[in-house]
Amino acid sequence: MKQLYLEREVELPEDLAITIKDNVVTIEGTKGTLTKNFKNFNVELKKTKKKISVKAYYINKKRKANALAVVGYLKNMIKGVTEGYVYKSKIIYSHFPITVEPDNNKKIVTIKNLYGGRKSIVVPIVGAETSVKVDKDDVIIEGIDKEAVGQTTANMQEACRLRGKRKKDPETFMDGVWQWDK
């Protein structure tokens, strides 16, 4: 027998201000404000005093996946505005010392002297609330949006990926900025 509807509930902490209008959810917490549009997910969102109800009707694989994805997004948004996200990366080099210089005003990170190259690599910082700090050999990426913090970390790793003649020997050339903690 086919399932007619799927319903999941997300518990809400007491100190959050949440508004839902036309499947656009805005959550305000102690760390900041996040807004996400769920119009394309084909779900129904309703807020009660302590819960958000996510319903999807005429369930198939895609609708079930969409409904559970919305639940995951809501949980990540709630955690982001209450606690925030911190990703840590390590600056690793064997011969040529790498310099990482974040500029949070311009929303870019500059990686200099990678593999002894003269060219600087410029990596964008994703998200308005995301910030990057350098502490000796650690790069700390902080923010309230999990997607933006993760994408900034991934952009730095992708910029340091082996290309050209160094691609053949990854054990010798391990230089770069690599994530080690979430």
The alpha carbon of 73 is separated from its chain's Cα centroid by a whole number of angstroms, namely: 11
Interval 121-156: pLDDT, tens: 999 999 889 999 999 999 999 999 999 999 999 999
The first and second tokens of residue 123, run together, are: 């990596």
The hierarchical CATH code for the domain 85-181 is 3.90.930.12
Domain 5-82 is of which CATH architecture? Alpha-Beta Complex (3.90)
pLDDT at site 71: 96
Is 85-181 the same fold as 5-82?
yes
Q: What is the DSSP letter of 125?
A: P
The alpha carbon of 50 is separated from its chain's Cα centroid by a whole number of angstroms, namely: 26
Domain residue ranges in the chain? 5-82, 85-181
Task: Kindly report the length of the chain.
Answer: 182
CB atoms within 10 A of CB 140: 15
How crowded is the C-beta side of 88, counted as CA atoms within 13 Å? 8
Interval 20-69: pLDDT, tens: 999 999 999 999 999 999 999 989 999 988 999 999 999 989 999 999 99
70-76 mean pLDDT: 95
pLDDT at 114 over 70: yes
pLDDT at site 95: 81
Interval 148-181: pLDDT, tens: 999 999 999 999 887 776 666 666 667 888 888 8
